[in-house]
Amino acid sequence: MTLSIGSLSIGYPGRSLYAQLDLTADSGSFSCVLGRNGAGKTTLLRTIAGLLNPLSGSVRVNGADVHGLTAAERARQIAVVLTERPSAPGLTTYDVVALGRQPYTGWFGQLSPDDRSVIARCLRETGVEALADRAFMTLSDGERQRVLIARALAQEPSLLILDEVTAFLDLPGRVEVMTLLRSVARQRKITVLLSSHDLDLAIQFADCLWVLETGGSLVSGAPEDVVLQGAINRGFDSALARFSLDQATFEGVEGTEGPVIALTGQNPCRYWMARALRRSGFLVVSSDQSNVAASVQVECDPLRLAVSVRGKEAEVNTVGQVLELLSELTL
Amino acid sequence: MIRPLTLFLCALLVAALLTVSVLALSIGQIVIPPVEAVAALFGSGDQMTRDIVTELRMPRLLTALLSGAALAVAGVVLQSLFMNPLADSWSMGLLAGGQLGAAVVIVAGSVVGSEFLSGLTVLANLGSLVGAAAGMAAVATFMLAVSRRVGTVTLLVTGLMLGFLAQGLVSVLLHFTNRTQGRIFASWNDADFAGVAPADLPELTIPVLAGFFMVLLLAKSLSTLQLGETYAVSLGVDLARLRRGVLAAILLLAAPVVAFCGPVMFIGLIAPHIARQIVGSARLSAVIPVVVLVGALLAVLGDFVVHLPWEQHWLHLNAILALVGAPVVIGILLRGGDSGSALR
């Protein structure tokens, strides 16, 4: 058990955010902290990282109380990648990653051959070897995040904490970072803890979710358990958006009470047709029910869509045409 | 790891430093051939030549070398600490604060008793040193507190204004002091390396060397600040301790310079930028040795130009330094964030 949190209360003097948290995370596991903006994700992560003192309770990494360690001792156990985006003018990628060796170097900070081989390995693992001599400032957002992850890994931590590192990345970039973090956790047998806004990616990649619910409670567990227990709904749903357990994504609240459409056929075409129908305000069911307003049958390759609406039959070959045919139902 | 270009430029720097140093010993109101000037250091030549070289020019040269290097290293350290490419002991108002501190001590001393000044120069020197250090510490503490809330340029303007304020106060002090005391400050507005007697050299040298040594010890922790304060803490740096250490180092480096030479402008601000260009990197371990050379060269060059055998004496050190320094600073400001040594 690398990380164990006992009766931890976090927040600021006079303003407690979460009280009596008990959480653990194994080495080799990848956990995601989820919560809405302002829910306290950063406060929780900074407290665990030892950068912020807890109101009460303890955080232990490999049995040692994080807040009882000196900063230097802590730096060998915990590495962080923060929301702050350093520009490090005048430093190369290599220089930035080399700063991760600070907790291990001597008085004047010279790098030993061992340090250099650790740095080389971290550059390789994160796929930024080719950028080693580039100025850090000139890198793209995605490259910078990889370099900062490499820097954190160069600290050889037992616990790696990342705060919103995917926020500035495009979707493929996010998936790449999540894949990287999961494989780093597995291969290095370290505990990785990440806060994120990407609910669907977190559900897909994490071994464990920690969901900060509105109202000061935290639910943790396997992503699927957390979803089925409704924690995501309690943590995230608002008057206008709701997490759909069927679709593993957020949808607008209105539009769920619309006309019922029976949709049959093969995936993936059926899946995409269903999305279009839901967006247009229909309720999609899979079999013929008594109250259906229309039915659509889908065939892939080539795409053929048979529509039956109010006794009329039609066969079309784009999703857009189906929506047009059905538009009279919602008038 | 070191670029051939960097090695070449450093060799050039050393050669330039040696050349200008020899020229500085040789050329002045009385021109002494370079070979004779160097030989005079080792005791040959006539009495007058020896006196000019060893009693006047050598102390001035050593003062310039040490002061330039000290201000340049202080500049690198302050730029790292403030995470601000325009920080320097002059631009942050520390030198003016030091001047004020020294002036207060000297004036207070003259009120208490004139023997404080005339009788015991060593004590008077130490007094003004301590006064300078106290003034600098006060300004530095204030600027550190301000720096957390304002941007790069605002901090620069605040520092410069604080400097003007301190210099204004020095003038007020001067106004209410007798003529002899006033003469001590008169040269202060224009810095000068010529005011250090051979006997005073240890009081300049020892603190500055101690300051260099402290900076070497602090360089490792300081370099983490290039990623920002939180990353520095996560890398095991005790920020409060680092700030105290840096403050002490800055006082050791710059207080003697301001006490003996006045507010030397621009060297501490531009030398780090020149050094970073030469090194091709902002890695502190690589920049610090080079900035020592750059700072020393700038100071010796400026001093050399001032002491050329001009017909009239209107050229002051700070004027020369401003001619070089101000365009560099304007360049840094205008270039914005596109290079290694630029603004963030």
Q: According to the model, what pLDDT value does residue A235 have?
A: 77
The residue ranking higher by pLDDT, A97 or A304, is A97
Q: Which residues contact A273 (CB under 8 A, 6 or more apart)?
A: A263, A265, A296, A298, A305, A319, A322
The CA distance from A198 to A94, in Å, is 30
**pLDDT mean over B222-242:** 92
A331/B contact by beta carbon, under 8 A: no
A80/B contact by beta carbon, under 8 A: yes
pLDDT at residue A134 above 70?
A: yes
- Of the partner residues B238, B281, B339, the one whose CB lies closest to the CB of residue A91: B281
pLDDT at residue A208 above 50?
A: yes
Per-residue pLDDT band for A115 (boundaries 50, 70, 90) equals very high
Q: For the residues of A38-51, what is the DSSP string, one character each?
A: TSSHHHHHHHHTTS
- Of the partner residues A86, A102, A151, the one whose CB lies closest to the CB of residue B236: A102
Q: Which DSSP helix (H) or strand (E) runs through A322?
A: helix A319-326
- Of the partner residues B235, B276, B337, the one whose CB lies closest to the CB of residue A103: B235
A28/B contact by beta carbon, under 8 A: no
The CA distance from A106 to A131, in Å, is 27
A142/B contact by beta carbon, under 8 A: no
pLDDT at residue A256 above 60?
A: no
Token pair for B324: 């070089």
Å between B1 CA and nearest CA of chain A: 11
The CA distance from A179 to A165, in Å, is 13
- Fold that domain A3-244 belongs to in CATH: Rossmann fold (3.40.50)
First-to-final CA distance of chain A: 59
| B235 contacts on A by Cβ (under 8 Å) | 75, 99-100, 102-103, 155
Å between A167 CA and nearest CA of chain B: 19
Nearest residue of chain B to residue A136 (CA atoms): B340
Query: Which amino acid is it at B285?
Result: S
Domain boundaries, given as residue ranges, for chain A? 3-244, 260-330
Q: According to the model, what pLDDT value does residue B337 have?
A: 46
> Over chain B, what HEC string results?
CCCHHHHHHHHHHHHHHHHHHHHHHHCCCCCCCHHHHHHHHCCCCCHHHHHHHHHHHHHHHHHHHHHHHHHHHHHHHHHHHHCCCCCCCCCCCHHHHHHHHHHHHHHHHHHHCCHHHHCCHHHHHHHHHHHHHHHHHHHHHHHHHHHCCCCHHHHHHHHHHHHHHHHHHHHHHHHCCCHHHHHHHHHHHCCCCCCCCHHHHHHHHHHHHHHHHHHHHHHHHHHHHHHCHHHHHHCCCCHHHHHHHHHHHHHHHHHHHHHHHCCCCCHHHHHHHHHHHHHCCCCHHHHHHHHHHHHHHHHHHHHHHHCCCCCCCCCCHHHHHHHHHHHHHHHHHHHCCCCCCCCC
pLDDT at residue B112 above 70?
A: no
Per-residue pLDDT band for B12 (boundaries 50, 70, 90) equals very high
Token pair for B78: 């302050």
Hey, are the CB atoms on A71 and B281 less than 8 Å from each other?
no
**pLDDT mean over B232-257:** 93
Q: According to the model, what pLDDT value does residue B343 have?
A: 38
The CA distance from B300 to A93, in Å, is 36
Reported as a single tens digit per residue, the pLDDT across A274-296 is 888 888 888 888 776 667 888 88
Token pair for B18: 């040696």
Q: According to the model, what pLDDT value does residue A291 have?
A: 76
- CA nearest neighbour of B256 among B101, B55, B116, B93: B101
The CA distance from B80 to B68, in Å, is 18
The CA distance from A121 to A125, in Å, is 6
* Half-sphere exposure in the Cβ direction for B197 (13 Å, CA): 5
What DSSP designation does A92 have?
A: B
The CA distance from A220 to A31, in Å, is 9
Nearest residue of chain A to residue B277 (CA atoms): A90
Q: pLDDT > 70: what percent of chain A?
A: 94
Å between B8 CA and nearest CA of chain A: 20
Q: According to the model, what pLDDT value does residue A326 have?
A: 85
Reported as a single tens digit per residue, the pLDDT across B52-110 is 888 889 999 999 999 999 999 999 999 999 888 889 999 999 999 998 998 888 777 76
Query: In this predicted structure, which of A241-250, B107-116, B200-209 has the lowest mean pLDDT?
Result: B107-116
How many inter-chain contacts (A to B, CB under 8 Å) are there? 97
- DSSP-assigned beta bridge partners for residue A244: A249
| A165 contacts on B by Cβ (under 8 Å) | none
Cβ-count burial B16-50 (b if 16+ within 10 Å, e if not): ebeebbebbbbbbeeebeeeebbbbeeeebeeebb
Query: In this predicted structure, which of A120-134, B19-33, B107-121 has the lowest mean pLDDT?
Result: B107-121
A103/B contact by beta carbon, under 8 A: yes
Å between B77 CA and nearest CA of chain A: 15
The CA distance from B68 to B12, in Å, is 18
- CA nearest neighbour of B250 among B77, B81, B128, B64: B77
The CA distance from B77 to B241, in Å, is 15
- Fold that domain A260-330 belongs to in CATH: Rossmann fold (3.40.50)
Hey, are the CB atoms on A86 and B226 less than 8 Å from each other?
yes
Length of chain B: 344
* Half-sphere exposure in the Cβ direction for B224 (13 Å, CA): 28
pLDDT at residue B344 above 60?
A: no
- Of the partner residues A84, A89, A103, the one whose CB lies closest to the CB of residue B236: A103
Q: According to the model, what pLDDT value does residue B120 have?
A: 54
Hey, are the CB atoms on B341 and A89 less than 8 Å from each other?
yes
Q: According to the model, what pLDDT value does residue A60 have?
A: 95
Q: According to the model, what pLDDT value does residue A167 have?
A: 85
| B234 contacts on A by Cβ (under 8 Å) | 49, 51, 74-75, 78-80, 82
Reported as a single tens digit per residue, the pLDDT across A74-95 is 999 999 999 888 888 899 999 9
Interface test with B, best of A87, A116, A144, A164 (most B CBs within 10 A): A87
The CA distance from B142 to A107, in Å, is 30
**pLDDT mean over B237-256:** 92
Hey, are the CB atoms on B217 and A107 less than 8 Å from each other?
yes
What DSSP designation does A183 have?
A: H
The CA distance from B266 to B318, in Å, is 8
Q: How many CB atoms lie within 10 A of CB A141?
A: 14
**With a threshold of 0.95, does the pTM exceed it?**
no
The residue ranking higher by pLDDT, B311 or A48, is A48
Å between A4 CA and nearest CA of chain B: 19
- CA nearest neighbour of B249 among B74, B87, B89: B74
pLDDT at residue B245 above 70?
A: yes
The CA distance from B19 to B262, in Å, is 26
Q: How many CB atoms lie within 10 A of CB B302?
A: 29
Q: For the residues of A214-269, what is the DSSP string, one character each?
A: TTTEEEEE-HHHHHHTTHHHHHH--SSEEEETTTTEEEESTTSSS-EEEEEE-TTH
Nearest residue of chain B to residue A101 (CA atoms): B235
The reply to whether A260-330 shares the fold of A3-244 is yes
Q: According to the model, what pLDDT value does residue B342 have?
A: 39
- DSSP-assigned beta bridge partners for residue A241: A252
The CA distance from A94 to B208, in Å, is 33
- What is the average pLDDT score of chain B? 86
| B219 contacts on A by Cβ (under 8 Å) | 108-109
| A78 contacts on B by Cβ (under 8 Å) | 234
| B289 contacts on A by Cβ (under 8 Å) | none
Q: According to the model, what pLDDT value does residue B188 have?
A: 66
Å between B189 CA and nearest CA of chain A: 35
Å between B342 CA and nearest CA of chain A: 7
Reported as a single tens digit per residue, the pLDDT across B268-324 is 999 999 999 999 999 999 999 999 999 999 999 999 999 888 877 778 898 899 999
Q: Is residue B254 within 8 Å of residue B70, measured between CB atoms?
A: yes
**Backbone φ and ψ of B339, nearest 5°:** -135, 175
Reported as a single tens digit per residue, the pLDDT across B179-201 is 565 555 666 667 889 888 888 89
The CA distance from A174 to B289, in Å, is 42
Å between B278 CA and nearest CA of chain A: 12
Q: pLDDT > 70: what percent of chain B?
A: 89
Q: Which residues of B touch A (CB under 8 A)?
A: 85, 216-217, 219-220, 223-224, 226-228, 230-231, 233-238, 276, 281-283, 285, 337, 339-342, 344
Q: Is residue B315 within 8 Å of residue B246, measured between CB atoms?
A: no
A78/B contact by beta carbon, under 8 A: yes
Token pair for A55: 């109101």
Hey, are the CB atoms on B220 and A102 less than 8 Å from each other?
yes
Three-class SS state of A189: coil
Interface test with B, best of A70, A102, A104 (most B CBs within 10 A): A102
